[in-house]
């Protein structure tokens, strides 16, 4: 970090780890910066030095998150507020971040998240707790009671997602070419990617005559879950996978999809789910806490019986293909709800109130 000692500290500094493993957090940090600035409060964004996701804002980059926090602590005046969006994936680095936060106290709010780790088991995994005074935040209000029980001496709250402006405009559009479903997210086991691809290729696609486009390839190792998805897609006429692509292009494809499928077996609260709902794409989700925070079955989306996806084809067929009016009604209700809850002005106001 290169800031002069006499530089006036911005009202809020947002720090996120960065890297493709943390892409969701860096995107979230970028959206929160925009929301905070929309409320008239200056905000600085710092992202970990790594290959950037196209949805992230340009930002000052750091190579060591603990040092970035220490530097902020040394420079910031007593009015400055720090929002730490998640922890590094490396456990020793995550512990170092918690140590650095000891010098910040109540001026810091930490989003209690580590990629690929259950949120309520993170304390045991780290073997330590946040320093006294640091506020704990989660994206999902369903996790607040559990976190409060884990950290009775800390203030625990939930912070809202912030939708991109482009997701607040426009209606669904007719598909170009053949109808298709869409899945968005990294092709990992946690996201249920290989299970979805295999089931779609063998059963769902042939039964419904509906293709599946999976957006999120290009980031896995050769022997990863992504590679298994690529093998399935290469051999099937019903499954295709592509890189996630620019936001505007991605949202246009989501708008025209028959539905958006979220098959995760564990997730905290995926921003892509809120985006799909905002652009009036009917959503079909596994019944995990990260999805059910947003999806009320048959009201704002359609929840499957469990994460096995056994009823995926029947859910899509009965609720979407055979009852398009129901699909439109549910999608419109979902769009109204998430737009009202996660518009940048709403998110910015809520975030600043929690940081103050």
**What secondary structure does DSSP assign to 254-285, as a single string?**
HHHSS-EEE--SS-S--HHHHHHHHTT--EEE
Q: Is residue 350 in some structural domain?
A: no
Predicted TM-score (pTM) of this structure: 0.92
Q: How far apart are CA 288 and CA 44, in angstroms?
A: 34
Q: Tell which residue, 249, 244, 251, has the closest CA to residue 169.
A: 251
Asked if 197 and 309 sit in the same domain, the reply is: yes
Asked if 148 and 213 sit in the same domain, the reply is: no
Asked if 330 and 185 sit in the same domain, the reply is: yes
**Cβ atoms of 48 and 30 closer than 8 Å:** no
Q: How far is CA 250 from CA 157, 168, 177, 197, 313, in A?
A: 31, 14, 16, 19, 24
Handedness of CA 352, 279, 270, 285 (dihedral sign): positive
Asked if 216 and 123 sit in the same domain, the reply is: no
Range of the domain at 126: 12-159
- How many independent structural domains does the chain possess? 2
Instruction: Spell out the per-residue pLDDT of the chain, length 356, in tens.
Output: 444 433 434 589 999 987 767 778 999 999 999 999 999 999 999 999 877 777 888 899 999 999 999 999 998 878 899 999 999 989 999 999 999 999 998 999 999 998 778 888 898 999 999 999 999 999 999 999 999 999 999 999 999 999 999 999 877 776 667 899 999 988 989 899 999 999 999 999 999 999 999 998 876 666 688 999 999 999 999 999 999 888 999 999 999 999 999 999 988 899 999 999 999 999 999 999 999 999 999 999 999 999 999 999 999 999 999 999 999 999 999 999 999 999 999 999 999 999 97
Q: Is residue 351 in some structural domain?
A: no
Which residue, of 112, 143, 159, is where some domain finishes? 159
Asked if 133 and 210 sit in the same domain, the reply is: no
Residue 44 is part of a domain; what is its CATH number?
3.40.50
Asked if 184 and 333 sit in the same domain, the reply is: yes
Asked if 106 and 178 sit in the same domain, the reply is: no
Half-sphere exposure of 300 toward its Cβ, with a 13 Å CA cutoff? 20
Asked if 266 and 334 sit in the same domain, the reply is: yes
Asked if 63 and 204 sit in the same domain, the reply is: no
Q: Tell which residue, 158, 220, 223, has the closest CA to residue 187.
A: 220
Q: Is residue 303 in some structural domain?
A: yes
Residues 6+ apart with CB under 8 A from 246: 54
Q: Is residue 353 in some structural domain?
A: no
Q: Is residue 354 in some structural domain?
A: no
Asked if 247 and 264 sit in the same domain, the reply is: yes
């Amino acid at each position: 970090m290169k800031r002069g000692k006499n530089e006036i500290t911005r009202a809020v500094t947002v720090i996120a780890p960065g890297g493709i493993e943390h892409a969701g957090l860096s995107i979230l940090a970028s959206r929160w910066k925009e929301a905070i600035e929309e409320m008239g409060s200056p905000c600085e964004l710092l992202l970990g030095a790594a290959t950037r996701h196209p949805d992230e804002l340009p930002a000052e980059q750091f190579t060591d998150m603990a040092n970035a926090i220490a530097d902020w602590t040394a420079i910031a005046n007593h009015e400055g507020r720090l929002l730490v969006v998640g922890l590094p994936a490396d456990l020793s680095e995550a512990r170092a971040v918690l140590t650095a936060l000891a010098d910040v106290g109540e001026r810091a709010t930490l989003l209690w998240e580590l990629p690929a780790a259950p949120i309520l088991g993170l304390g045991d995994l780290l073997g330590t707790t946040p320093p006294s005074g640091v506020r704990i935040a989660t994206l999902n209000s369903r996790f607040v009671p559990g976190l409060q029980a884990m950290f009775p001496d800390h203030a625990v709250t939930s912070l809202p997602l912030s939708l991109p402006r482009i997701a607040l405009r426009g209606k669904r559009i007719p598909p170009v070419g053949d109808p298709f479903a869409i899945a968005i997210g990294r092709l990992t086991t946690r996201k249920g990617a290989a299970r979805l691809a295999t089931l779609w290729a063998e059963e769902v696609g042939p039964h419904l005559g509906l293709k599946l486009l999976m957006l999120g390839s290009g980031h896995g190792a050769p022997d990863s879950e992504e590679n298994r998805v690529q093998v399935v897609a290469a051999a099937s006429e019903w499954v295709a996978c592509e890189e996630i692509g620019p936001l505007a292009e991605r949202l246009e494809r989501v708008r025209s999809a028959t539905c958006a499928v979220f098959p995760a077996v564990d997730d905290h609260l995926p921003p892509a789910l809120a985006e799909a709902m905002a652009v009036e794409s009917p959503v079909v989700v596994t019944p995990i806490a990260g999805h059910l925070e947003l999806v009320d079955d048959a009201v704002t989306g359609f929840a499957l019986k469990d994460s096995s996806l056994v009823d995926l084809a029947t859910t899509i067929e009965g609720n979407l293909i055979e009852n398009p009016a129901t699909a439109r009604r549910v999608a419109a209700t979902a769009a109204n709800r998430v737009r009202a809850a996660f518009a940048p002005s709403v998110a910015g106001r809520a975030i600043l109130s929690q940081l103050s």
